[in-house]
Structure 1
């Protein structure tokens, strides 16, 4: 009987040991502009190089690589049994190409009378973004879906914009073709941090916080159906396609960031749901 009791204890110990040392599930792709979601049990902490990552109670965390990222990155995951899991990523520089557009001159060199307005709008957006990263829960764990019913990309992420034959800012989002009044949906669960109206560059737009530093922004809307601090669900109607702000025709500009890292929105849509 003593031997049998010892066997039960030993088997129980092995079962606990296997749980604590389990592998982590990963979603996404390690590339410039890419996002990685990790999920596992008994995770005490995670760190990408020197940056601590936010891990929620479900053991879910996220990190991303900026548009210009290249080189070596190391992910260290510390488990509650003090074991550390280590993952290495080698990111290659991406070539994004160029895109030429013709737009109104006032959106390249704004009139002096608009400079104060632009400065104030920039401050408003920066203030709203300061709240992103405060939510520790992975609201995005619902997975991701496209923001429009019909998807046709007209402006790729990361391209060098040539405006009226002059190089200008990098395009830090994806442009989707749309007709005036087409429905625009939240790509995943989130909290409205800003519902901006009639901004000089963005027009009417919505900024969503998806938790753990992940955010998305929807520009040039004709109408907005959500308010600041409102909680939204994946696929929920948040506005309508328009051509407000710096826009040449009706379309949706979708931008995604992980903290200040510029993320390719198209890298998210293969992650339909998390187990």
Structure 2
């Protein structure tokens, strides 16, 4: 069974304020959940207002370092709210040491800093979009089959210098291996050569939930293109800051980093058949 569709928690019991609301997904660091409320209900996670679609469906996520307790609040008016504390499972992250990365990508020269800032802004802009799609409510599948060589949340040390945590799952594969879309969506960013991530592709699955694929050797889709699950979207590469060919698949809820592995089943299990 796909982990994503396990019931996470009943957060609001039936009251005069709101009907019972279920969150589907996992209450865990790196997890994503979604639910549905009565139209017009405001949803607030801690101090962040969660955008709700016209049909009441909302999505939200918990980043790598989310605290153990978070408050979810539903409001039908400023003075009519129901709150419940969510217990967020805490995780232990591995430390990975990687040698042989070109030193200029570990400590980039001043001459490329403006390029890095410009590319980071493009990615932030693509992830900040709110599209009224709800592709995230369906099961995700692996975009590539192969050995997993990197996991979400691990701290990487490049050439002895601590780097940022790894925010995706790495799947090894030869250059040119076809990458397929893990879910329906729309392309919001394509870039052939970013400094850190090389060939980069972002697909939006709706309401802030997006997939990012990096280190690609070739991108097979275009900005604005509608994508279906299982459709070829790119080819594996070793571009950007990579020591060998692999796919780095990342997921976000807007700026929050999510763990793609929590949304897919065991890689040894076959993907469900595609619908014609």
**Against the structure 1 CA distance between its residues 124 and 57, is the aligned structure 2 distance closer, same or farther, given a 3 Å change threshold?**
closer
Out of 231, 236, 255, the position equivalent to 1:236 is 231
Out of 57, 62, 68, the position equivalent to 2:59 is 62
Which residue matches 1:186? 181
1:62 Cα deviation after fit:
1.0
Residue 215 of structure 1 contacts residue 256 of structure 1 at CA under 8 Å; is this kept in 2?
Answer: yes
Q: Deviations over 1:6-42 (max 9, x none)?
A: xxxxxxxxxxx99x96533432110111111114666
The structure that has the greater radius of gyration is 1
**Against the structure 1 CA distance between its residues 124 and 55, is the aligned structure 2 distance closer, same or farther, given a 3 Å change threshold?**
closer
1:149-228 matches, within 5 Å, as 150-228=145-223
Residue 25 of structure 1 contacts residue 40 of structure 1 at CA under 8 Å; is this kept in 2?
Answer: no
Moved more, 32-41 or 181-190: 32-41
Instruction: Report the 3-state secondary structure (helix = DSSP H, G, I; strand = E; otherwise coil) of the residue aligned with 1:218.
Output: strand
1:78 Cα deviation after fit:
5.0
When normalised by structure 2's length, the TM-score is 0.81
Residue 31 of structure 1 contacts residue 91 of structure 1 at CA under 8 Å; is this kept in 2?
Answer: yes
When normalised by structure 1's length, the TM-score is 0.81
**Against the structure 1 CA distance between its residues 47 and 136, is the aligned structure 2 distance closer, same or farther, given a 3 Å change threshold?**
farther
1:92-111 matches, within 5 Å, as 92-102=89-99, 103-111=101-109
Q: Deviations over 1:69-116 (max 9, x none)?
A: 113212234579x99665431224422020111111121122344333
Q: Which has the higher helix share?
A: 1
Which residue matches 1:121? 119
- Distance (whole Å) between structure 2 residues aligned to residue 21 and residue 260 of structure 1: 29
- Measured on the aligned residues, the alpha-carbon RMSD in Å equals 2.8
1:198 Cα deviation after fit:
1.3
**Against the structure 1 CA distance between its residues 129 and 29, is the aligned structure 2 distance closer, same or farther, given a 3 Å change threshold?**
closer
Residue 124 of structure 2 contacts residue 255 of structure 2 at CA under 8 Å; is this kept in 1?
Answer: no
Instruction: Report the 3-state secondary structure (helix = DSSP H, G, I; strand = E; otherwise coil) of the residue aligned with 1:107.
Output: helix
- Distance (whole Å) between structure 2 residues aligned to residue 63 and residue 250 of structure 1: 32
Which residue matches 1:53? 50
Q: Deviations over 1:125-144 (max 9, x none)?
A: 233334x2x21332322331
Residue 43 of structure 1 contacts residue 77 of structure 1 at CA under 8 Å; is this kept in 2?
Answer: no
Residue 55 of structure 1 contacts residue 136 of structure 1 at CA under 8 Å; is this kept in 2?
Answer: no
State the number of aligned residues. 252
Which residue matches 2:264? 269
Correspondence 1:90 to 2:87 = yes
1:195 Cα deviation after fit:
0.4
Which residue matches 1:11? none
Which residue matches 2:139? 143
